[in-house]
Structure 1
Amino acid sequence: MIEHDSLYIGGQWLRPAENGVITVVSPADEQTIGAVPLATATDVDHAVAAAGAAFRGTWPRLTPGERADVLERLADELAKNRDERAALTSRQNGMPIAIAASAEGDSPVGLLRYYAALARATPLEERRPRLDGNGETLVRKEPVGVVAAIVPWNFPQALTMFKLAPALAAGCTVVLKPAPETTVDALELAAACERVGLPAGVLNVVTGGADVGEYLVSHPGVHKVAFTGSTAAGRRIGEVCGRLLRPVTLELGGKSAAIVLDDADLAATVRGLATSSLLNSGQTCYLSTRILAPRTRYAEVVDAVAGLAGSLTVGDPLSPDTLVGPMVSRRQRDRVESYIAAGKAGGATVATGGGRPAQDRGWYVQPTVFANVDNDARIAREEIFGPVLAVIPYGDIDEAVGIANDSDYGLGGTIWTSDVDRGVELARRVETGSIGVNFYGLDVGAPFGGVKASGIGRELGPEGLAAYHHLKSIYLPA
């Protein structure tokens, strides 16, 4: 058991205004593994006030190099317990430890170091000659202010740092609201920030449910919102921010396509699909969960994808041999199983899976592959967020592109081919924020985000830092 009885607000550990508790349950064995306070609107008020005071204080007035020093100290601190932090995520959300070691252990450290270096290298002011010849303009980058960062449960430490690292590098202050399923790691991060001397109020952590998040998003003391989560929640947040004219970054859902071309090496393709389509037990937003296969090789692709899914080791997420862990919650397992039922009822064929594995306890679902799927089927249109793939046939390349683009979403995607140049040309035609040729992997130095219902704005890369600046033009006479 890991228990916290206080929230981290204004550099102090404060008891919440009321006595509510969030219980954290292991999805692997359904045992209680932690407890944290349930924040209220009053606690959010205190956290936003603390962040506002810190923003009016010294933090945004430090040089980028001075802030970078703090980020590097935090990176060093987090590197000390990389394995323990990875295991903490696995215990909370069921992520296989083989994935968590990199995604949750190493990634936050790397993001802090990347944005520390970028802050040092990014000029805050630029002088431009006026086009009318009458003097010049000083264009200045300034921190946007108090940031509400709302983070999901699937990659909690990494996605926190997608927001926290650039926000702090830019000189912003942050109120972090983690998902209820993964709250313990957020408070552990606060403790690490305290140990390295992050000034009081620069990071504040409030733990609660959707009501706390909604109150935070609309709070008058917040200047920007950064959210990763479902499209439905993102739409609500976008509506609030639009009404308030508040900048917002929304990284939302996906239903990405893997286009398998007729010249693809099928053995290499299915090895790649293990991570680009089933990473973190399918609980990853950018996954290529629609497998588009040429009709000339359709049966062959179905057999190969089904063979891959059926071969993956399902079990204890803390075992290094596990490739598929449990769903994060009973509710999520029920959701995934409802889609499997819908696929069967809709006439699709279960090529493998379709039920629960043999585990006595835990919220597990078998990796499932559906064949004979039309792109209009529910399992091809809606984000499932579990280990469920739909293999869809196509005729020629134009039809493949049409199917890939016939989606409400546009976040990720992959092209599988023996001709990389052909793959790049095809990738240019897919309506998405990111796409990989013969693999998929986020690049910390390049922007990540979606189009259509997959969100607005970008994280990572220099663009991720720019999202926490606003621009001021100072006109200077000749």
Structure 2
Amino acid sequence: MTIKCISPIDGSVYAERETLTRTQADTAVARAKSAQAAWALRPLADRIALVQAGVAAVGAMNDDIVPELAHQMGRPVRYGGEFGGFNERATYMAKIAEDALAPIVVEDSDKFRRVIKRVPHGLVLVVAPWNYPYMTAINTVAPALIAGNAVMLKHASQTPLVGERMAAAFHSAGVPTDVFQNVFLDHATTSDLIADRAFGFVNFTGSVGGGKAMEVAAAGTFTGIGLELGGKDPGYVMDDANLDAAVDTLIDGAMFNSGQCCCGIERIYVHESLFYQFVEKAVAIVNGYKLGNPLDTETTIGPMAHVRFADEVRAQTAEAIAMGAKAHIDPALFPDDGGAYLMPQILTNVTHDMRVMRDESFGPVVGIMSVKNDAEAIRLINDSNFGLTASIWTQDTARAEAIADQLETGTVFMNRADYLDPGLCWTGCKDTGRGGGLSVIGFHNLTRPKSYHMKKV
């Protein structure tokens, strides 16, 4: 099977790669498992140093990576790629590794030594998405390698060059080639490998449907699975919010990367006393965007990664307008709209009967609703099949935390949004999936506890 990356810039084939046959995939798995044993025996400090060197090698490629990302998934070159977040996450995980992976000594007396150690799963499969292809991959690749696992990285067909870049960088830094492998696999081979217990752990970031396929493949194998799936992340602007800061951050969170962010803002609830001001300021911001070729440094919104993604957002928007929603952005301001190039849109007069307020949009559209009080906002925020993040805007920390305790999400922000803090567990609930990445918990999920009960004679 041939994987093709169709560039959203012009619809041309940007890259093609052949997938592994099942026999080739089995060989790759065997090599990884054989190499993992020696890798796990290396001192933790050595593994940390090699991973950090690999990360630095990716940074050295950034001038080439930025235009490649524009060609593969449409992000404008003006934003400079992902190395800042990529490096921040890997560096943090390297910093906490020694403590996070340290044995828990229950007793070490003249009679007994009782210890709980964290040991690697063995071979970890990382299935990474195209929307933030470097940052999402490093979330698992770095801690998995540091913890002593071997890693196979299967990247999205929209971003095939990313895995190749990462593997080349890490290999150049000294990480053994069989310990970290970039692989191209079709869905059937991936599922068959999981079903045959090829992996000790699987981490998948992608669609709800993809997550279900992973669970079906792993059924009965008892293979650990981490799933970060869809989102419909809300913002709530309370009556005492810093309005300008809230508008700037929430609209950026809704529109940046053409709205193609797992934790992007897809619905906003504003206290009725600030509603009209919020909408007016939001419209002014979006009216200043420039839709166009992502290789143009003046472009602030590039194309969506694929025409079908843009068409889904268009369909949700059109359905909402037909049901009574009001569109605030004039199409005349975005003459390049068409195909994968999708103009941004702000909608009011929306309800939760509309798909644009319930289904994941994953594009540059956001619905804004007025609410009377905290209780109404909490009810609407929780009225969702998803639960990744929520963003609360207020100057009252105690009030925000009391609300946060009632929200069905993996993360609650106050006065910020659309950010992944590597010191906190990146997790979700409901159809957003299960498990957790980064932080100490990320290391715990990429290892298993092993108990040692040693009676001294």
Q: TM-score, normalised by structure 2?
A: 0.93
Aligned to 1:177: 154
Compared with structure 1, are the counterparts of its residues 67 and 285 closer, same or farther at alpha carbon in structure 2 (3 Å cutoff)? same
1:451 aligns with one of 429, 436, 443: 429
Compared with structure 1, are the counterparts of its residues 218 and 322 closer, same or farther at alpha carbon in structure 2 (3 Å cutoff)? farther
Number of equivalent positions: 454
Letter in 2 for 1:260: V
Provide the rounded CA distance (Å) in 1 between the counterparts of 2:452 and 2:292: 60
SS of the residue corresponding to residue 117 of structure 2 reads: strand
Aligned to 2:90: 112
2:22 aligns with one of 41, 49, 53: 41
Q: What is the CA distance between 1:355 and its match in structure 2?
A: 9.2
Compared with structure 1, are the counterparts of its residues 323 and 74 closer, same or farther at alpha carbon in structure 2 (3 Å cutoff)? same
Indicate conservation of the 8 Å contact 1:146/1:175, yes or no.
yes
Aligned to 1:471: 449
Q: What is the CA distance between 1:433 and its match in structure 2?
A: 0.8
Aligned to 1:385: 362
Indicate conservation of the 8 Å contact 1:21/1:35, yes or no.
yes
2:8 aligns with one of 8, 11, 27: 27
Indicate conservation of the 8 Å contact 1:65/1:119, yes or no.
no
SS of the residue corresponding to residue 4 of structure 2 reads: strand
Aligned to 2:318: 341
Q: What is the CA distance between 1:178 and its match in structure 2?
A: 0.5
Matched, 1:245 2:222: yes
Correspondence 1:374-413 to 2 at 5 A: 374-413=351-390
Superposed CA deviations along residues 320-373 of structure 1, whole A, max 9, x for unmatched, are 433211110112122221212221232222122579932287611111111111
Aligned to 2:208: 231
Provide the rounded CA distance (Å) in 2 between the counterparts of 1:349 and 1:282: 19
Aligned to 1:164: 141
Matched, 1:127 2:105: yes
Indicate conservation of the 8 Å contact 2:248/2:282, yes or no.
no
Compared with structure 1, are the counterparts of its residues 429 and 140 closer, same or farther at alpha carbon in structure 2 (3 Å cutoff)? same
Range that drifts further, 20-29 or 402-411: 20-29
Indicate conservation of the 8 Å contact 1:86/1:105, yes or no.
no
Provide the rounded CA distance (Å) in 1 between the counterparts of 2:201 and 2:293: 39
Indicate conservation of the 8 Å contact 2:251/2:282, yes or no.
no
Range that drifts further, 408-417 or 21-30: 21-30
Range that drifts further, 242-251 or 36-45: 36-45
Letter in 2 for 1:227: F
Q: What is the CA distance between 1:396 and its match in structure 2?
A: 1.3
Aligned to 2:36: 55
Compared with structure 1, are the counterparts of its residues 320 and 424 closer, same or farther at alpha carbon in structure 2 (3 Å cutoff)? farther
Superposed CA deviations along residues 162-218 of structure 1, whole A, max 9, x for unmatched, are 111011001001111110000012112222222222113111222244334333433
Q: What is the CA distance between 1:51 and its match in structure 2?
A: 1.4
Letter in 2 for 1:96: P
Provide the rounded CA distance (Å) in 1 between the counterparts of 2:444 and 2:332: 45
Q: What is the CA distance between 1:255 and its match in structure 2?
A: 0.6
Q: What is the CA distance between 1:242 and its match in structure 2?
A: 4.1
Range that drifts further, 229-238 or 293-302: 293-302
Provide the rounded CA distance (Å) in 2 between the counterparts of 1:159 and 1:436: 20
Correspondence 1:418-433 to 2 at 5 A: 418-433=395-410
Indicate conservation of the 8 Å contact 1:51/1:146, yes or no.
yes
Q: What is the CA distance between 1:25 and its match in structure 2?
A: 2.5
Q: What is the CA distance between 1:233 and its match in structure 2?
A: 1.3
- What are structure 1's unaligned runs of at least 5 residues? 1-19
Aligned to 1:94: 74
Aligned to 1:188: 165
Letter in 2 for 1:474: Y
Range that drifts further, 177-186 or 388-397: 388-397
SS of the residue corresponding to residue 474 of structure 1 reads: strand
Indicate conservation of the 8 Å contact 2:128/2:136, yes or no.
yes
Provide the rounded CA distance (Å) in 1 between the counterparts of 2:51 and 2:337: 44
Letter in 1 for 2:47: R
- What are structure 2's unaligned runs of at least 5 residues? none
Compared with structure 1, are the counterparts of its residues 33 and 392 closer, same or farther at alpha carbon in structure 2 (3 Å cutoff)? same
Matched, 1:144 2:121: yes
Indicate conservation of the 8 Å contact 1:327/1:363, yes or no.
yes
Aligned to 1:11: none
Matched, 1:69 2:49: yes
Superposed CA deviations along residues 70-124 of structure 1, whole A, max 9, x for unmatched, are 11221221221223223322221011234453xx223333333333333344453
Compared with structure 1, are the counterparts of its residues 68 and 318 closer, same or farther at alpha carbon in structure 2 (3 Å cutoff)? same
Compared with structure 1, are the counterparts of its residues 216 and 283 closer, same or farther at alpha carbon in structure 2 (3 Å cutoff)? farther
Indicate conservation of the 8 Å contact 1:25/1:92, yes or no.
yes
Q: What is the CA distance between 1:239 and its match in structure 2?
A: 3.3
Letter in 2 for 1:62: R
Letter in 1 for 2:216: E
Q: What is the CA distance between 1:221 and its match in structure 2?
A: 1.7
Provide the rounded CA distance (Å) in 1 between the counterparts of 2:337 and 2:450: 60
Q: Percent identity, please.
A: 29
